[in-house]
Amino acid sequence: MKIAELTQDYEMFCPQSLALFDDPVGLQIGDLNQEVKKVLVTLDIREQVVDEAIKLGVDLIFAKHPVIFSPLSALTTTNPQEHLVWRLARANIAVYTSHTNIDVVAGGLNDDFASLLDLTEVRALDDENQMGRIGEVEPIRLSVLTEKVKAVFGRDRLRVVTYDHTMNQVIRRIAICGGTGGKLWPLAVEKKADLLITGDIYYHTAHDFLSQGLVAIDPGHYIEHLFIPKIAKLLRTYNDKLEVFESQVSTNPFYDI
């Protein structure tokens, strides 16, 4: 099948139009008329992922995070980010990205996260652009919830935003946003969430949370790696002759010890 046919099928579920303004989604490298027999699904496109793609001989990389996020002023081998693009183009490997549109779409990543945490009465945290989710949970101690978050997201360690290190707070309403969702905290407060789960929480922002009575769990941006099996499973339904590989490379830049 052609890349255009594959992406058309995908966009029936997750249209590009759902992406936030100026978010680079869709085909970033390649030709929509290119034939595709092998696809590699990954969260990020880093040097080791390009190595993996070339070794597997794939025609297309399907990624969550764009390989070109800011405009390139040149395409050389001296700049690391440009070099990634240069290597992919030289190897005739196309790149398609599905970033914030897979976060906001019904049945997308944030809905999956809410389901993994057994949230009920789930609705959008940000009504304007449908980012994040908020829902109810059976009353649970923060200390117990942190262990559940570790288990469902495959994390050994978490950062918890709280002044009460006994972690005896009872949580009844949870807001969650994959990736970097710290800017949504005022909405979490407005909608009376007890706790916000998101990645990349800043130090001073964490103080703001606590001043408003909001505790938080930062499991890291990398929980979005659940994109890989989700999208691989979906792509396999489009054509039984399509070989879909799930990247085996960890692109998490943080190592917990």
Distance CA 102, CA 222 (A): 15
**Among 64, 20, 73, which Cα is nearest to 41's?**
64
User: Is 23 a known ligand-binding residue?
Assistant: no
The pLDDT of residue 115 is above 90: yes
Distance CA 27, CA 159 (A): 35
Tokens 């942190």 map to which residue? 146
pLDDT for 142: 98
Q: What is the mean pLDDT of residues 124-137?
A: 97
- Residue 166, sorted as left (phi over 0), alpha (psi -120 to 50) or beta, turns out to be alpha
* Token pair for 173: 């309403």
What pLDDT band is residue 257 in, cutting at 50, 70 and 90?
confident
Are 3-101 and 106-221 in the same CATH fold?
yes
pLDDT for 37: 97
CB 241 within 8 Å of CB 37: yes
Q: What is the mean pLDDT of residues 88-106?
A: 98
Tell me the pLDDT of the chain averaged across its residues: 96
pLDDT for 234: 98
* CA quadruple 207, 177, 65, 24: dihedral, nearest 10: -100
The pLDDT of residue 71 is above 90: no
Distance CA 185, CA 209 (A): 7
Q: What is the mean pLDDT of residues 109-120?
A: 98
What single letter denotes the amino acid at residue 175? A
Domain boundaries, the chain: 3-101, 106-221
Distance of CA 131 to the CA centre of its chain: 12
Q: What is the mean pLDDT of residues 232-236?
A: 98
What pLDDT band is residue 210 in, cutting at 50, 70 and 90?
very high
* CATH architecture classification, 106-221: 3-Layer(aba) Sandwich (3.40)
User: Is 83 a known ligand-binding residue?
Assistant: no
Q: Which CATH superfamily hosts domain 3-101?
A: NIF3 (NGG1p interacting factor 3)-like (3.40.1390.30)
Length of the chain measured in residues: 257
Q: What is the mean pLDDT of residues 56-68?
A: 97
What pLDDT band is residue 70 in, cutting at 50, 70 and 90?
confident
Q: What is the mean pLDDT of residues 227-240?
A: 97
User: Is 224 a known ligand-binding residue?
Assistant: yes
* Token pair for 111: 């809905």
pLDDT for 25: 97
Beta bridge partners of 26: 97
Could you tell me the pTM of the whole model? 0.95
Distance CA 151, CA 44 (A): 23
Run of H or E including 107: none
Q: What is the mean pLDDT of residues 173-178?
A: 98
pLDDT for 256: 81
User: Is 103 a known ligand-binding residue?
Assistant: yes
